[in-house]
Every structure is written in structure tokens, then in C-alpha cells.
Structure 1
Amino acid sequence: MTYPNSQDTLEVIKKLVSIPSPSGNTSEVIGFVEKFLAEYNVETKRNRKGGLIATIQGKNQKNHRMLTAHVDTLGAIVKEIKPSGRLKLDLIGGFKYNSIEGEYCEIETSSGKKITGTILMHQTTVHVYKNAGTAERNQENMEVRIDEKVHTADEIRLLGIEVGDFVSFDPRVQVLPNGYIKSRHLDDKASVGILLQLMKQIQTDKIELPYTTHFLISNNEEIGYGGNSNITPETVEYLAVDMGAMGDGQSTDEYTVSICVKDASGPYHYAFRKKLVELANANKIGYKLDIYPFYGSDASAAIRSGHDIIHGLIGPGIDSSHAYERTHISSIENTTKLLYHYVQSEMVEYK
């Protein structure tokens, strides 16, 4: 038995987070995933929403499994070009303005031109603004300073920037010698990297899966509907692979795989959760059970859409979600191991 190489997984994750992909503008990163899987002869197709569905045939083609991870990230969109030559933003995804203060960003125009900038408070200069520290971090007070010689809205438009252009945040990814990886967008590109390496291993080792298994790389999860379609009628088990949330009162950490019991959508399927715990215990995989109070996944989106499926949620523990995130190679490894054993296991009788 050979698990996917965790160092290779970290390298894939590093590449993924370095490709801008705010929800609504994900074609480049989907193309990267498509090309990666083509090298290992994994059958793929794009859905109309722009997501990617990879399928590996199994012994049983009557009952299917689906695993999903999302490649779309938090980001922003140009809301207004200010008379000063700076930009006002509208956020994409559920996060707060304070988490992006001082961040480098990139604006992509409709023609494909990319222009850099920095997200700042209008009242940043402490030598001028008495309320620099106390002013609210919100849409009215925060703006993008463009790295060009511009002072008016007309000069901004001459660069090709217009309302509706996508804005992505610099991931600032670092892979450290002691096993930590810190970056924006580990939610959920860490999980995408894990699934890519898992599919590579299945193909390389010619592992015959017990059931036909689909891998949905969704691209609208951060706005609520990434994994709610393209689920075959034969799909019985649907497993979302997404970050485990950390904080006060949470058991999730950066070193184990987090198995979600309940999130804002309600409890995940009890028998499915127990099956995942049994697999972890049987294979000496470090795990934590947890509840994420302000969270929804592709699996919960699928349930809300009316699909008659068994749904579950696992993933690596990620610190400081929706900000500058961090996890450890141990969490990547434990998540990988659980998935490796899960896709080769038998389905449970659900009654």
C-alpha cells in the first residue's frame, strides 16, 4: 500500500493557490486541473457552470460515489471607479474587509490585461487622519490603490479597468521546512490538491475501485451553489472535501483530518459519519470530530437542491479561515489517507 506523496501534494497546492480564481472567474484554474488529470488518462468533462467532473469507472456501475472539492476562492469585483482614481470593491464570498486590509491584489480587465494594486483604508495615513485606527473597515472606507500613475476616473478607464472587473488577492504562499503551508485560498485548494494526487495514485497504481466514482471540482462553492448539480442518479454517497474550521470551542487542528458532524445546514448523515470514523480508527488515521457553526459545503448545497444522497464532509484543518490561512503536512496526510481508504471501501447499508 502506497499513499500519495505528501510533498508532491504540497507542490500541487502551491501551484493551485498561485492561480487567481475568485468565484465567477475560474476558467484558468479549471484548465490547470484538466491538464493535470489528462496526463493520467482521467476522463473529464466540463459542466455548463464551468466546473470539472472527473470519472473513474469502478466494478459496480449501478451505485456511484461522488467526491467534491472547490477551486473557486474569495475575491472581489470592481464596484465603482472613484473620482480620485482609486477603486471601490464589492466582495465575493463570506469574509470581512479587515481580513484584506493591506493586501496586494490584481485586477483583471475584460480584455485580459492584469494590473496590480493594494487594498487600503482611505484613512490609512496616520499623519493625516486622526481616525486611521478606529474608522470602520467597510466598503465605504476601503479602496484599491492602483500601481499606475492615475489621479482620475478617466485615467483609470484608459487602463481598461471598468466596473465588473474581477479582483484577486495575492496568496503569499509559503511552504516551510517544518511542514507548515501558509497561504490565502487553502480553502479549498488544499483539498483540490489532495483529490488530484488521489486520482493520480489510483491511475498510476491501477487501483480498481469498488464503485464508479466521480470527482467534481466545483467552481461556485463560495457563493453557495458549486456542487448542487451534475450528480448522477446512481450516486448514493456524496462526500465534500473542504477545510476544517478552527477556533474557540472547536476540536479541529492543523494536524488531523476533520470529520464534520454538523454545520449551519444541520447534521451530516449519521451512518456515513460513523463509517468514516471506523475507517480512520481501523487505519490509525488521526482525526477530530467537529461542528462548524457558520459553514455550508457543496454537500449541503446538494442536499438543499433535492438530491437523494448520503452526504458527508471531511477535510484538512485550516487555521484562520477566510483570511491568511495555514495548515500542516500532517493534516494533508491524514486527509489523504482517509480518502484513500474510503474510495476503496464498501458502501454501508443505509436504513
Structure 2
Amino acid sequence: MNIDLNYTKNILKNLLITPSPTGYTKNIINYVENEFKKLGVTTIITKKGALIATIKGENDEQHRTLSAHVDTLGAMVKEIKANGRLKLSQIGGYDWHSIEGEYVKLITSDQKQYAGTVVLDKASVHVHGSKTDKSDRDENSIEVRLDEKVNSKEDVEKLGISIGDFVCFDTRTVITDTDFVKSRHLDDKAGVSILLSIAKYIKDNNITIKYTTNFFVSNYEEVGHGSSASIPEKTYEFIAIDMAAVGEGQSSSEYKVTICPKDSSGPYDYDLKNKLVNISKENNLNYAVDIYPHYGSDASAALRAGWEIRAGLIGPGVDSSHAHERCHIDSLINTIKLGILYLENK
């Protein structure tokens, strides 16, 4: 199976460097839509702003749907302090210490952009001494220092900055010569690049898939309701492609595709899980089976919303999830292959 790795890498890099915290995803949805259209895949945009791309299969009465989410962690301006610094409200779940020192881009409601840095309110050792180490990292101590000449709330407001403006973290994306991808927001832009790579392989090789397949790119997953609506009505199997959690006590790996039988929302479909495992075994894919205790997916959201589907979860291994993430291209390749083999399978 000849996967176009240059395509996958280029798509992934472009996705990673495009800001898209939950609630600010229109630009990146448009980018993904254009990429599907280049492949000759029909698309629609849902009322919630998600994207559905569809490839017809031999059976158009039962659909398979693969999902990935394009929204990421981020923040909003919660308060403009009297000294011109900004307090933040989190978008998605992450530890405050994981963003300390990060460069950010602030985007106003009229699309002005300003640079800044996430800092501790007592960041200087020469001023505060040992208090810098003992301070809690939370919504009260973490703030944004703008790269503008501002010394008051009024100075900030004159720039057009207001409560509710989006704050996007610098991803610092690097793809190394050894094929490691180091970046924030591999969760789940790696998954979106996998969807596009699967679609490209099917189109490039003129493959007729068994069932009509929808590629559902959701935009509210990080806040829990990404694919809770607008799933194509004929869907009978739904597989979320999202990052696999790598770390102590986990069997997931940065080099493997992981099949998840259970996460914090409960078990996924038993027969579908076994099908995915058997496909991986029969085709000598480098795979793992793993359970995630602190994790939910688009498949979870669909089930909670009452969709009558058989749901599964697979994905590439990502280290340091919701922090400074890393994966290897091998895990993307194995996930792409499993996706293609699944769509070819009865």
C-alpha cells in the first residue's frame, strides 16, 4: 500500500499552523473543505459549522462514517487587568502549567491580531524571589503579556481588544529528519490529516469502497459535543479517529495505530473493535489495543446524543497529550492503512 507521505506531512503541517481553538474554526474548515474538493470529493457544511465529505460506495443504503476534529485547545480573554495584562478562560481541558511561557496570537472580533506571551503574574525571580516557584499555576496567576505599549485597561481597549477575544497558542510545529512531528494540537489535526490521506488514496487508486463513506470533520469536540448532531442518517458504523494516549500504564505507542475498546465514556462496540483488530492482524499492521481512563471522543458524543450506531475509536499514538505533543509518522501510516483496509472490508 503506497501512501503519499509528502501529502500527509504537508497537510498536517498546514493544519497545525492554522489557528482553530474551539469556536474559531471557520477558516480551517474552509481549508479542509478545499482540500477535499481538490480530491474530487463532495462536501457540505452543517449548521454547526462542521464539514461532511462523502465518497459513494457499492452500498448506499448503509453508510460508514469516519470522524476527526479540527478544533483545538485555546483560551478567551476573561478579564483586562488594570495593568494591561489579560486573564484567561480555558477552552478545553489542560493544566495551566503546560502553557506557561508560550507565545500566543490574540484575535479580536474584527480580526485584528496581536502577539503576546503567557506568563506567571510573579514571573521575575529578581522581583519576587522564591515566590515564583511556590505560586500556583491557575486562572488567577497565569496571564498574557501583550507585545504592545499598554500599561492600563484603557490602553488595551483602545487596541480593540475585549472580553471573549480568542487566544491561540503557538504550536511550534517541527517535522524532524527522523519523522517525528513535534507540535501542539496533534490532537486532533493528526486525525484530520489521516482522513484526507485516506480519501486521497481511494481517489488516486480508483478504489470502489464497499459502503458509502462520510468523512465527518467536527469542530466542537474539545468541549464535548463535536459530533452530537448532523451525522448522516444512514450511518450504521461510526469510527472516530483521534489521538491515542501514550504514557505510563498505556500500551499505545508513537509508532502504532491504537484500537480503543473503552474510554471514560464506557465500552465501544465489541464486534467493530474485533473487526479492526482482525484487519490489523491479517495485514501485519503495527497496532495496539488500549484503554483511556481520562478521555472521550466524537464517537462518545454521538452515542450520548442518542445516535443508533456501532461506534469505534482508533488513532495514532501521541505523547504528552494536551501539552507539548509528539508523534511519529509511522503511527499516522498505520492509522491510514487501517482506515483504508476497513473501508475495503465487508
Supply the distance in 2 between the matched residues of 1:248 and 1:197 (Cα, whole angstroms). 30
The structural deviation recorded for 1:4 is 2.5
SS at match of 2:198: helix
**Residues of 2 paired with 1:167 and 1:333: CA distance?**
32
Aligned to 2:67: 68
Shift of 1:233: 2.7
User: How is 1:16-165 mapped onto 2 (pairs within 5 angstroms)?
Assistant: 16-130=15-129, 131-165=131-165
Query: Cα distance, 1:201 vs. partner?
Result: 1.7
Residue 198 of structure 1 aligns with which residue? 198
Cα deviation 1:15-41 (Å, max 9, x = unaligned): 101000000000010011011111111
Could you list the structure 1 runs, at least 4 aligned residues long, displaced by more than 4 angstroms after superposition. Answer: none
| Distance of 1:122 and 1:327 partners within structure 2 | 33
Residue 315 (structure 2) aligns with: 315
Alignment of 1:279-298 (within 5 A): 279-298=279-298
Query: How far, CA to CA, are the matches of 2:193 and 2:2 in structure 1?
Result: 14
* CA-to-aligned-CA distance 1:111-136 (integer Å, 9 cap, x gap): 00110100000010011113101100
| Cross-structure match for 2:342 | 342
Instruction: Kindly state the Cα deviation for residue 203 of structure 1 after the two structures are TM-superposed.
Output: 1.5
Structure 1 segment 149-298 matched on structure 2, within 5 A:
149-298=149-298
What SS does the corresponding residue of 2:197 show, helix, strand or coil?
Answer: helix
- CA–CA distance in 1 between the matches of 2:258 and 2:123? 39
Cα displacement string for residues 115-162 of structure 1 (whole angstroms, at most 9, x for unaligned residues) = 010000001001111310110000000100000111001110111100
Write the deviation string for residues 232-281 of structure 1: whole angstroms up to 9, x where unpaired.
Answer: 23211000000000111100010000110110000111110000000001
Which residue type is aligned with residue 61 of structure 1? Answer: D
Query: In 2, are the aligned partners of 1:6 and 1:332 still within 8 Å (CA)?
Result: no
**Per-residue Cα deviation, 1:149-205 (whole angstroms, up to 9, x for no partner):** 110011101111000000100000000001101000000000100111111121222
Paired amino acid for 1:333: I
CA-CA distance at 1:206 after TM superposition? 1.5
Preserved CA contact (<8 Å) 1:238 1:311: yes
My pick for the range that moved more, 165-174 or 193-202, is 193-202
- TM-score (norm. length: structure 2): 0.99
Unaligned runs of 5+ in 1: 347-351
CA distance in 2, matches of 1:28, 1:324: 24
Aligned residue for 2:334, secondary structure, equals helix
Asked whether the equivalents of residues 68 and 241 of structure 1 are also in contact (C-alpha less than 8 Å), the reply is yes
* 1:343 counterpart SS class: helix
1:11 deviation in Å?
1.5
Contact 1:3 1:340 in 2 (8 A): no
Alpha-carbon distance in structure 2 between the residues aligned to 1:210 and 1:274: 19
The 10-residue stretch of structure 1 (2-11 or 313-322) with the greater mean CA deviation from structure 2: 2-11
Whether the 8 Å contact between 1:255 and 1:330 is mirrored in structure 2 is: yes
Secondary structure of the 1:233 match is: coil
| Aligned pairs for 1:323-334 within 5 A | 323-334=323-334
1:324: Cα distance to partner?
0.7
Measured in 1, the distance between the counterparts of 2:119 and 2:54 equals 44
Secondary structure of the residue aligned to 2:128 is: coil
- CA distance in structure 1 between the aligned counterparts of 2:224 and 2:189, rounded to whole angstroms: 17
Residue 320 of structure 2 aligns with an amino acid whose one-letter code is S
SS at match of 1:245: strand
CA–CA distance in structure 2, aligned partners of residues 310 and 276 of structure 1:
13
Q: Secondary structure at the match of 1:198?
A: helix
Which TM-score applies when normalising by structure 1?
A: 0.97
C-alpha distance in 2 between matches for 1:24 and 1:170: 17
Query: Could you tell me which amino acid in structure 1 is paired with residue 85 of structure 2?
Result: R
Which is further off, 85-94 or 3-12? 3-12
RMSD over aligned CA atoms reads 0.8
| Cα distance in structure 2, aligned partners of 1:184 and 1:110 | 24
Q: What SS does structure 1 have at the residue aligned with 2:35?
A: helix
Secondary structure of 1:132's match?
A: helix
